[in-house]
Structure 1
Amino acid sequence: MAPERTNYPGGWVWNFHTRHGTSLEPISGVLSRANRLTHRDTINELHQIAAVTAVADDAGRHPQTHLLMYDFTFEITYDAGADEYVDLFMDRDSLRSEAIYSCLDPSELWTLESVTGDPADLAAVDDLLLDESVERESISGRECNSTRTTSLLTEEQRRRVTYTYVSEVDYCEAVPLIAAKYIDGGVLFEQTRTGDTVRWRVLVQDDSKIGLLYDTLSAKLGEGLSFSFKHLIEVTNWESGLLSRADIRAEQREILKVSVDRGYFETPREVTLDELAEELELPRSTVSYRLRRATAELAKRFANQQL
């Protein structure tokens, strides 16, 4: 059954629903169940979330009524050796991580993370991605006292997608869990990780406690971490590349990324189709076809966003 957008008192985050039978369920319910589902079921659930987000994006671009939100963006910079996971991104320039966090109270946290990069760099990060003993949430240097499970949802040559569920939180100084102590009504978080910098975007309905959140985050930072405020702005819609509509197939996305990385779209071109085909170990005709389809979908998406 098709997803639908409804007005719900809990706020913007709660506007995302999927229909199961005759009852509506918030996104938090879908994510919390994903921890107990099979691998295939989990993928299906998260694909539903992406589809629902696409509906919400359309509603944001053509709204019936504007819901005013606030985008609080800041960056945390890490010194070498301060965080094992960040160190990998500092040592390998091709690595990039995008993650969406959902946290409605300080006791549990859900994360959908996409890591992209060169195959050799991704292979180096694989062990840490799936190692549930590796602390990736805390900003204080103190380990979280919680239960943490991670599942690999997508494994491609240049991309990994993982789902992490942190539950039974007794103590954890993670950005989303700290924010949940100050902000009611649900909060959505987007995190981008490149090099020594982790960029956070926090979407809230009420900015009255952002000052307290700012002070707390700054005070909680562990040794070797520094905090940089970027902006606090009003927004009426907020799109995420990680949960955007899935118009580009995985095989097309991979070829598109390699083409960009190797300079195919530069002037003059730094690589030919033949060279791309050789690197990807695919027929030239296949590379050409997938690249045309990917660029066509991107062009359609861009045109639709301008309407």
Structure 2
Amino acid sequence: MRELVFALEYEPGCNRVADALADHPDARVRSLSLHATADRLWRVDHATGTPEALDAVEDAFLSADYYADCLATEDCGATQTTRILDRADDTLILYSDWERTPTCASVPHIARDHFGDGVLFETRHEGRHYTWRLIHAGEGDVAAFFHALEVAVGECAQMEMLRTANTTTSAGGSDGTPSGLPPAQEAALQAAVEHGYYESPREVDVGELAEHLGVPRSTLTYRLRRAEEHLAKQHVAGERVTEERLISR
């Protein structure tokens, strides 16, 4: 089995969910389940944030021009049904069912075209960044998949490859960095340390650091957050292994 992780960074006005999340930086949306057949897509998403952020996310999902991951730049005539499964002050769970038309395209359907049936999908949406994690059988042409995705996305989003590896590969070394981070996240973290972002008090804020690196503030924030999450999980996992070894002695 192979793991493929990449991110789309949407331009303003190209994806209403991305626009809503960009207006509410503390909000997040992750998929709880996502399935696709040749002509349908259905998914359950879990959103967190303030009540105002969840209102914006809910409105984006319920808007007729969203169509659960459709990459068409104009109305493709698809039929979508979105239902609210649960709503609290800081949590929103949505179910979407999307019946595509011949002019529709989406990441799951492009993946099925190139990797076949049985692809597993996991998504995280933060700001304008939409991260996809695909698990597939290892057959198919990854380069052709990305070319087809690039054509479908057009100028609406930029793509960034984050990781591709065997699912059995241990974290740390599969992508050429000692920490196991994608190169872009590794570079962002190293620059943050070198410029005093993690000093107390900070010697530089994220906006100044982003300007120095020549990347959008939202991009740098996303990379640092993902890097910090990866290293924190890696540290906790290492502590558990050490504790288990001590107990077994």
TM range (shorter): 0.5 to 0.7
2:49 paired with 1:124 = no
In the superposition, relative to structure 1, how do residues 208 and 135 fare at CA in structure 2: closer, same or farther (>3 Å)?
A: closer
Pairwise mapping of residues 1-307 of structure 1 onto structure 2 (< 5 A)?
69-99=1-31, 100-103=33-36, 105-167=37-99, 169-236=101-168
Shift of 1:140: 4.2
Give CA deviations for 1:187-219 in whole Å, capped at 9, x if unaligned: 111111101111111110124322211111122
> Is the Cα contact below 8 Å between 1:135 and 1:143 reproduced in 2?
no
Distance 1:137 1:204 in 2: 19
Residue segments in structure 2 that go unaligned for 5+ positions in a row: 170-235, 245-249
Check the 8 A contact 1:146/1:170 in 2, yes or no.
no
**TM-score normalised by the chain length of structure 2:** 0.63
The alpha carbon displacement at 1:111 in A equals 0.9
Find runs of 4+ consecutive structure 1 residues off by over 4 angstroms: none
Question: CA 1:143 to 1:176, structure 2 compared with 1: closer, same or farther past 3 Å?
Answer: farther
Specify the alignment match of 1:284 in structure 2.
Answer: none
Letter in 1 for 2:16: E
Deviations 1:158-192 (A, max 9, x none): 01111111125433111011111222231111111
Q: Aligned residue pairs: how many?
A: 174
| 1:192–1:200 contact (8 Å) kept in structure 2 | yes
**Residues 173/75 of structure 1: CA separation in 2 closer, same or farther (3 Å cut):** same
Aligned-partner residue type, residue 220 of structure 1: A
Q: Residues of 1 paired with 2:68 and 2:18: CA distance? A: 9
In the aligned structure 2, how far is the partner of 1:231 from the partner of 1:168?
Answer: 29
Structure 1 alignment gaps of length 5 or more: 1-68, 238-298
For the aligned residues, what is the CA RMSD?
2.5
